[in-house]
């Protein structure tokens, strides 16, 4: 239903000369980027390369120090907080909940941008929450206090809440970094299914190159605050680029078992280099 709302040719975001700095420290430098609908984007790069900052800029949480960001039909800073939250959801990396809300209450917060200030969830909303808890595999935790959950369980709550927000765009910041392989694949599969059905557009910060190869159509490689490579996964997930970005030795193969690219890597062998 959602896809028709967007012009599939026009970019979702277009960034022109975007820089961001904390005080004197420049985190992102002169980024020019266009992200189109209908593709699953992955943002990759070594620690401190500005991945999360870029995601914050895309989600409107931070404003660029210079340059402009256009989102769908207008400049990102012209979007009202509420409209933006109805269009775009974020699964943050650090999902820390201070007080003992139950899992159900936390997921229900996803309805916030859709509800009137003193409104309560409708029958339909309640069914949506139930279904989302089921889909993310946390229905059995619904009445548990979120402060008592493990890191992986919390991450699934964060994903469930973002899905409850019913947005067209989903941003994920290392949403599977605390999950075991089964749950990682399950969450990514769930999100990817919705993406393939045309219900959501995706941008994810990823750490695991092999999960990124499975999950993303397009990869943006960041290094030291700059976009160093960007393109379809088959074109940019190559040994040379991985070696250059991460300073490791790498091999990339097509794995017939997963039907994805698979990267293996090791630290540079110094003896050979000499």
Partner 1 sequence: MQNRRKAILFVSLHATLLAALMALAATMGFLSVSVSDVLQIVTGKVFRLPFVDIDPVAISVVADVRLPRIAGAVLVGGILGVSGAVFQAILLNPLADSYTLGISTGAAFGASLVIVMQLFGLVLPPAISIPLFAFLGGIGTLILVLYLASGDRRLSSTSLILAGVIVSAILSAAIGFLKFLADEQVGIIIFWLMGSLSGISWQNVLLLMPAACIGSILAFFFSRDLNIMATGERAASALGVNTVRLRLILLAGCTFMTALAVSVAGIIGFVGLIVPHLLRHLAGPDNRLLIPLSFFAGGILLLIADTITRAVLPAEVPIGVLTALLGGPFFCILFKRRQQDGKSGF
User: What is the DSSP secondary-structure string of 130-182?
Assistant: HHHHHHTT-GGGTTSBGGGS-HHHHHHHHHHHHHHT--SEEEEESTTTTS-HH
Distance CA 195, CA 40 (A): 8
**Is-contact 50 126, C-beta < 8 A?**
no
What does the longest C-alpha to C-alpha distance in the chain come to? 69
Could you tell me the two tokens for 71?
A: 């989102």
* Residue 124 CB contacts under 8 Å (≥ 6 apart), including other chains: none
Q: Is 102 helix (H, G, I), strand (E, B) or coil?
A: strand
Helix (H) or strand (E) holding 19: strand 13-22
41, 113, 191, 201: which one binds partner 1 (CB under 8 A):
113
Could you tell me the two tokens for 238?
A: 């190559």
For the bound state, the minimum distance from the C-beta of residue 7 to partner 1, rounded and expressed in Å, comes to 24
Nearer CB in complex with partner 1: 147/253: 147
Quick check: 175 binds partner 1 (CB under 8 A)? no
Nearer CB in complex with partner 1: 55/187: 55
31, 33, 51, 56: which one binds partner 1 (CB under 8 A):
56
Work out whether the CA dihedral 253, 256, 257, 260 comes out positive or negative.
positive
Quick check: 59 binds partner 1 (CB under 8 A)? yes
Contacts with partner 1 by CB under 8 A: the residue count is 37
3, 16, 86, 144: which one binds partner 1 (CB under 8 A):
86
Quick check: 117 binds partner 1 (CB under 8 A)? yes
Quick check: 66 binds partner 1 (CB under 8 A)? no
Quick check: 96 binds partner 1 (CB under 8 A)? yes
Quick check: 106 binds partner 1 (CB under 8 A)? yes
- Spell out, one character per residue from 129 to 168, where the chain touches partner 1: x when CB under 8 A holds, - when not: ------------------xx---------x---x--x---
Nearest alpha-carbon partner for 107 in 149, 75, 76? 149
3, 16, 70, 112: which one binds partner 1 (CB under 8 A):
112
Name the segment binding partner 1 (CB under 8 A); options: 12-20, 101-109, 184-192, 195-203.
Answer: 101-109
DSSP state of 96: -
Binding residues for partner 1, rule: CB under 8 A, are 56, 59-61, 81-82, 84-86, 88-90, 92, 94-102, 105-106, 109-110, 112-113, 115, 117, 120, 147-148, 158, 162, 165, 171
């Amino acid at each position: 239903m959602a896809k028709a709302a967007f012009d599939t040719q026009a970019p979702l975001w277009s960034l022109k000369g975007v820089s961001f700095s904390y005080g004197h420290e420049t985190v992102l430098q002169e980024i020019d980027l266009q992200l189109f609908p209908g593709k699953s984007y992955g943002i990759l790069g070594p620690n401190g390369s500005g991945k999360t900052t870029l995601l914050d800029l895309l989600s409107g949480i931070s404003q660029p120090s210079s340059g402009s960001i256009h989102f769908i039909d207008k400049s990102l800073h012209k979007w009202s907080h509420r409209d933006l939250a109805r269009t775009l959801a974020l699964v943050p990396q650090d999902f820390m909940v201070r007080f003992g809300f139950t899992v159900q209450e936390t997921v229900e917060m996803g309805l916030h941008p859709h509800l009137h200030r003193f409104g309560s969830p409708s029958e339909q909303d309640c069914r949506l929450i139930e279904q989302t808890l089921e889909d993310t595999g946390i229905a059995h935790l619904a009445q548990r206090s979120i402060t008592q959950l493990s890191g992986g369980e919390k991450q699934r709550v964060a994903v469930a809440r973002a899905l409850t927000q019913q947005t067209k765009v989903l941003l994920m910041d290392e949403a599977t970094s605390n999950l075991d392989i089964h749950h990682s694949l399950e969450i990514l599969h769930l999100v990817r299914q919705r993406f393939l059905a045309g219900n959501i557009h995706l941008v994810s910060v990823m750490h695991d190159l092999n999960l990124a190869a499975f999950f993303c159509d397009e990869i943006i490689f960041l290094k030291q605050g700059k976009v160093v490579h960007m393109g379809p996964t088959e074109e940019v997930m190559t040994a040379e680029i991985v070696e250059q970005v991460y300073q490791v030795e790498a091999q990339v193969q097509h794995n017939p078992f997963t039907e994805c690219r698979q990267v293996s890597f090791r630290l540079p062998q110094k003896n050979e280099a000499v």
